[in-house]
Amino acid sequence: MDYNKVFNVLVEETKNYLFENSLKAMVLGISGGIDSTVVAAICHEVSKQTGIPLIGRSLPIKNKKDEFDVSKLVGEAFCDEFNVKRLDLSYKAALVDAILDSKSYSQPSIHDLMEYHDIVALEEWEGRTPIANGNLQARCRMQHLYDIASLHKGLVMSTDNQTEYQLGFWTIHGDVGDFDPIQDLWKTEVYKLAEYIFYKYDSEMRKEGKYYTIPNDLSAKMSAIKASIALTPTDGLGISNSDLDQIGAKSYNEVDDILKTLTSCESSEETYMLAGNVVHIQTNKKSDLYKKYGEEVVNKVWDRHLASEFKRKKAPIYVPREKYAK
């Protein structure tokens, strides 16, 4: 794939969407992960060309220090306005509200919950689950981002990629904003696009006679991208140490290969014209994948895909793949 073309198309499509809808700002939640970093770089280029500001926020709730540190690097390198806003209190209040809404046990008072229980205790309250807690965190962040967008007559940028989209690794009303430039890129392609952007800045810096070892605007962007590439991808929900832990895969190369192979059957003409043969086609392809990656990993990936179909009906507006891929 021509990643120079990909980058330019994503910038142009984002610009078009902003102009067509008379939007005055781009609002982006920055986690420090590769997806929000790449979207930040795309939006930064849009801002350079249009003057429409990129407003970034790092919104930590129990975040790991390395993620938080990288989110600051990214925000300071790419955003026209960037702040860190801890949402621990907002999340705690949301947990208390959720607990009081439950009828599965005797209800304590709001005062008792807020004053005498920390976040960990509230997360472990009867009836609470790690997935529910993680989704609640994501929705607290999105509520904050949409408030900023409303005040600035802007839109909230989404940062999910095609791999996450197919696996359901995102929260409805939590990760999904208004416009997602990278949704049709697989996770492995997002990393390749990040590498392209890194070397694009390197080339620009050399042309300007600047050096990576001397702090400047381009070296700051390169440092942010490099740190984001090196960061272990997490689910953002605190459910596991990494996305891959949840499905037992060794790399995103494995996951993307499995999803590309099996979803290509799902969306092919045979699916609609020869429905009786689709299972046979997928069975043959699954057998090949079993030999490469093992039955357990393939089935976990595909089961997640099937179980998250309802989510895919609520996807944001995005840049379709045919605009930049042959």
- Residue-wise pLDDT tens digits, 142-199: 999 999 999 999 999 999 999 999 999 989 888 889 999 999 999 999 999 999 999 9
Residues 83 and 194 in one domain: yes
Decide if pLDDT at 211 tops 90: no
Residues 264 and 172 in one domain: no
Residues 228 and 300 in one domain: no
Between strands 179-180 and 155-156, the pairing is unpaired
Residues 152 and 59 in one domain: yes
80 in any annotated domain: yes
Residues 55 and 176 in one domain: yes
239 in any annotated domain: no
- Domain tally, the chain: 2
Q: Which residues form the domain of 59?
A: 3-232+316-323
Residues 203 and 298 in one domain: no
Residues 27 and 169 in one domain: yes
Say how far apart CA 144 and CA 27 lie, in whole Å.
Answer: 10
Residues 66 and 102 in one domain: yes
The verdict on pTM exceeding 0.85 is yes
68 in any annotated domain: yes
Predicted confidence (pLDDT) per residue in 241-251, tens digit: 677 888 889 99
**pLDDT band for position 114 (50/70/90)?**
confident
Residues 101 and 197 in one domain: yes
What stretches of the chain adopt beta strand conformation (E)?
Answer: 26-29, 54-58, 81-84, 155-156, 179-180, 317-318
Q: Which residue has the tokens 């690097």?
A: 73
243 in any annotated domain: no
Question: Considering only CA atoms, which of 180, 177, 175 is closest in space to residue 190?
Answer: 180
CATH number at residue 148: 3.40.50.620
Residues 118 and 267 in one domain: no
